[in-house]
Amino acid sequence: MAKAFLFDIDGVLTDSADISKELVKRFFAFKGKSVGYEDIIPNLGMGMDALCLKTAERVGVEINLEEALSFFKENYSTLLKEKKEIPGASSFIKDARKKGILRAVVSSAPSWRVEENLSSIGLALDDFDLVLTEKDVKRNKPYPDIYIKAMIELGVEKKDTVIFEDSISGIKGGKESGAMVVALTTTLGREKSKLSGADAVLDSFLLFPSFSSSDDLDSALRELSGKGRNAIRYGANWIESLERKAPTKEVMKEAIDKALNAMEHAYSPYSKFNVGAAVLSAGSGRIYSGCNVENASYGATICAERNAITTAITNEGAIGIDLLVVASRCNPPAMPCAVCRQVMSEFIRPDTPIVLVNTMGVIETYKFSELLPHPFDFEAL
C-alpha cells in the first residue's frame, strides 16, 4: 500500500531540467569550449558538483569548480522566471497531502535551488514532510542513499514508497532503493524513460489516474505501470486475474485428472517414485501439467511441481497460480518438497489451495501459507 511519495525537483515538479543544461553550455562556452547536450545529459541528477566536473572530464577540460558553481547561481534565477511547473505538479502534491500521503523532496540540487524552484510554482518547504538535498548524503544519485534516508526518516518501507524521477541517475538510484519509480518524460522522453528501468512512465501529473483511497491509489499505480486496475499480486508478480474467485468442481477435477495422467509419464528409474502435478493459471484459466524427471546426477532431477510451473511460464510468461495439484501413489499423498514450495512462492498467493491426491482417491487440501508460512521472497532483496 503506497504511503509516501518522494519527488525530485528539476524535470519532475518544475520544467527546469534544461536550465542546468543551458547554464553548463554557457559556462563552457565562456571558457572557450563547446559542449553538446549529449555530453551533459548522462550527468544530470547527480548534483551540481558532479554535473560540472563530469562534463568537464567528458570533454577534456579542466575547470575551477567554485567558479562554475558561482556562475550557475548568478544566472539561475533569470532563467527560472521563464519556466513553469510540470502540468498538475503543485495540485498533485496538495491533493496527496489532503489524502494523507507523506511527501518528501529528494533532490541532488543545493537547498537554495530547491527553495527557488518550489516558490516558482507556489509551493513551500512546509508543503512537504521532509526535504533532503545534496548536502544530506555523502553519496548522491545514482546511489540510492537519499531515497533510503528519506524512507527511514518518514518511517515507511520501500514497498510502500513511490519515487518520481526524470533522469537516468535518479531512476537508477530509485530502483536500487527498492521502491517503485515513476519516470516523468520531461528529460529523457517516453522511449528512453521506459528503457531506463522505471516501473511506470508519466507525461504529466494531470495524467496520473485519480484515486480517493489507499486501495484506489494501489490500483492507480498498477494501471500506470501497465498492470491494470484488476491485477492481483501472486508472489512477485501482478497478474490480471480472471473473475473466478476459486476453482470450480469441474476445474478441480480436470486439474486432478491432468496431474494423475502426468504421473504416469514420470521418468523415475532410480527412485521408482512417480509424481505428477498440475497448475491452474490465474491469468488464462489454462491448466498445465508436469511430471518428475530424474537424473543419474541426483541434483539435476526436476520435480513434477517445478516442471508444471516452468511449462506454464513457457506458454504465458510470468504467471499466477490459482490452484496446484500434486499426484502420487503413496498414502497419505506426497507433499511438495521444500525447493518446490520456495519456487511456488514466486507465483502464488498465501490462500492458494494446494491439493494432494493419490491413486486410491485420497484428497487433502492445504493453503499455501500452511505449507510455507515464511517464504524467502522478492521483498527480502
CA distance 277 to 344: 12
**How many angstroms separate the CA atoms of 354 and 154, rounded?**
39
| Catalytic residue chosen out of the listed positions 115, 116, 305, 346 | 305
Q: Outline where the chain has alpha helix (H).
A: 17-30, 37-40, 48-59, 65-80, 89-98, 111-120, 145-154, 168-176, 189-195, 214-224, 249-263, 304-316, 338-345, 368-371
Q: In what order do the strands lie in the sheet with 287-291?
A: 287-291, 276-281, 321-328, 353-358, 363-367
Give CA separation, 364 vs 132, 292, 331, in Å. 55, 20, 11
Angle made by CA atoms 238, 241, 243, in degrees to the nearest 5: 150
Please enumerate in sequence order all residues whose Cβ is within 8 A of that of 141, keeping only pairs 6 or more positions apart, or say none: 45, 46, 47, 108, 167, 169, 170, 172, 173
CB neighbour list of residue 29: distance below 8 Å, 6 or more residues apart: none
Contact by Cβ (8 Å): 268, 294: yes
What span, in angstroms and rounded, lies between the C-alpha atoms of 311 and 320?
Answer: 13
Nearest by Cα to 284 from 324, 325, 315, 259:
315
DSSP class of residue 208?
S
Q: Is 305 considered catalytic here?
A: yes
Beta bridge partners of 324: 279, 354
- Strand 4-7 and strand 161-165: the pairing is parallel
**DSSP per-residue string spanning 163-199:** EEE-SHHHHHHHHHTTSEEEEETTTTHHHHHHHTT-S
Mind telling me the catalytic residues?
305
